[in-house]
Amino acid sequence: MSNLLEVNQVSKNFGDYKALNNVSITVPKGSIFGLLGPNGAGKTTLIRIINQITMPDFGTVHLDGDLLNPSHIKDIGYLPEERGLYKSMKVGEQALYLAQLKGLSKAEAKQRLKYWFDRLEIGDWWNKKIQELSKGMAQKIQFVVTVLHNPKLLIFDEPFSGFDPINANLIKDEILRLRENGATVIFSTHRMESVEELCDDIALINKSNKLIEGKLIDIKRQYKTNTFEVGLESENQSVLKESLTEKFTISEANFKSLNDDLKLNIKLSENEKAQDLISFLNKQAYINHFVEVIPTASDIFIQTVQNN
């Protein structure tokens, strides 16, 4: 079984409002899967369905080959976007309670908590109340509680919000380490740079429908526009620009350069090759910079959502 999670044609209505319309996603085992979409697209509803908080109206969800059922609760760790802890309860007690709700025994939960608290250097917080901790500290506890029962599937909804850059990095490394140890991660965020950095696969949901899904690299290939970013050194830049405009679709580019170059994005038609462009340019000017424009996750996101 190479897929940990399979969501098949799931629909969910809230009254007249369609929150999800025939959405299917497949999350490969051991991957970090980015679940993307604008606000109100239906991501949280989908995540809640996977967590069995809400039931789908139609469609099925399979986890590790089995139809989703209550015994799967212990296999999933969920860090919701709207998260918090009991403010007046002590850290240790609270963590033990939440771990026990996930089916761990008290002794086992205690042992694992000790390990995690040592690891994140928060051991001396055990007897503190959440209201005495800073937001970042509370987020650390929340993270520990999410991963404590070693779930097969981890679902993080905006995991880095509330962390300073140092702690965000720490958590990112922990997520990567958990993946190495066999966990699969679903990752919902609006921070595209972390999508670029972490995700192997993505799915994009907009207005209750899934628009794209697949390996991030495949999607990028699919979305590439045969555009090249060039920096050209020439004595007469305006003449050069004119001659290029006749032959190609060009636009201003913006990148850092040491020379006072003409910076352009040059879009080729489908059957033109990079070599053709290079040999053409070579005759006209010195080429200081030549790079294929790879669409970023952010570009893909904006383009897809706007076209929808």
Partner 1 sequence: MNHLPLIIKREYLTKVRNKSFIIMTILSPIIMMVLAGVIAYLTNLNKDKVRTISILDESGLVQDVFKETKTTKYHKLNGITIDVAKETMKETSNYGLLHIPKNINVDSISKHIKFYSEESPSLTFINDLENKLNRKLTELKRRELKIDISKLEDSKVWVNIGQENFSGEESSKVDSVIKLIFGCAAGYLLFMFIIIYGNMIMRSVIEEKTSRIIEVIISSVKPVQLMLGKIIGTSLAGITQFVIWVILFGILTTVATAILGIDIMDVQTPQQQVLEQSVVNSGLNVEIQNILASFFNMPLLNVIVAFIFFFIGGYLLYSSLYAAIGAAVDNETDTQQFMLPILMPLILAVYIGIFTVIEDPHGTVSTVFSFIPFTSPVVMLMRIPFGVPIWQQLLSFVILIGTFMLTVWFAAKIYRVGILMYGKKPSYKEIIKWIKY
- The smaller minimum CB distance to partner 1, of residues 87 and 177, is found at 87
Q: In this chain, which stretch among 1-9, 47-55, 193-201, 206-214 interacts with partner 1, using CB under 8 A?
A: 47-55
To the nearest 10 degrees (0 to 180), the angle between helices 237-247 and 274-284 is 150
Cα–Cα distances (Å) from 53 to 12, 21, 47, 49, 70, in that order, read 13, 18, 9, 6, 11
DSSP-derived 3-state class of residue 9? strand
Query: In the stretch 65-84, what mask flags binding to partner 1 with x, by CB under 8 A?
Result: -----xx-xx-x-x-x-xxx
Q: Which of 26, 42, 48, 199 binds partner 1 (CB under 8 A)?
A: 48
Size of site (CB under 8 A) for partner 1: 30
CA 27 vs CA 80, 135, 185: distances in Å = 19, 32, 9
Per-residue binder mask for partner 1 (CB under 8 A), 80-119, x = binder: x-xxxxxxxx-------xx-xxxx----------------
Q: How many helices (H) and strands (E) does the chain have?
A: 10, 14
Contact between 22 and partner 1 (CB under 8 A)? Answer: no
Residue 142 interacts with partner 1 (CB under 8 A): yes or no: yes
How far is the C-alpha of 263 from the C-alpha of 284, rounded, in Å? 14
Please name the residues in contact with 276: beta carbons below 8 A apart, sequence gap of 6 or more. 268
Shortest Cβ distance from residue 36 to partner 1 (Å)? 20
Q: Which of residues 146-205 bind partner 1 (CB under 8 A)?
A: 146
**CB of residue 76 to partner 1, shortest distance in Å:** 7
Q: Judged by CB, which is closer to partner 1: 142, or 206? A: 142
Angle among Cα 102, 184, 213 to the nearest 5 degrees reads 125
Partner residues linked to 3 by β-bridges: 28
Question: Which residues of the chain form contacts with partner 1 (CB under 8 A)?
Answer: 14-15, 48, 51-53, 70-71, 73-74, 76, 78, 80, 82-89, 97-98, 100-103, 142, 145-146
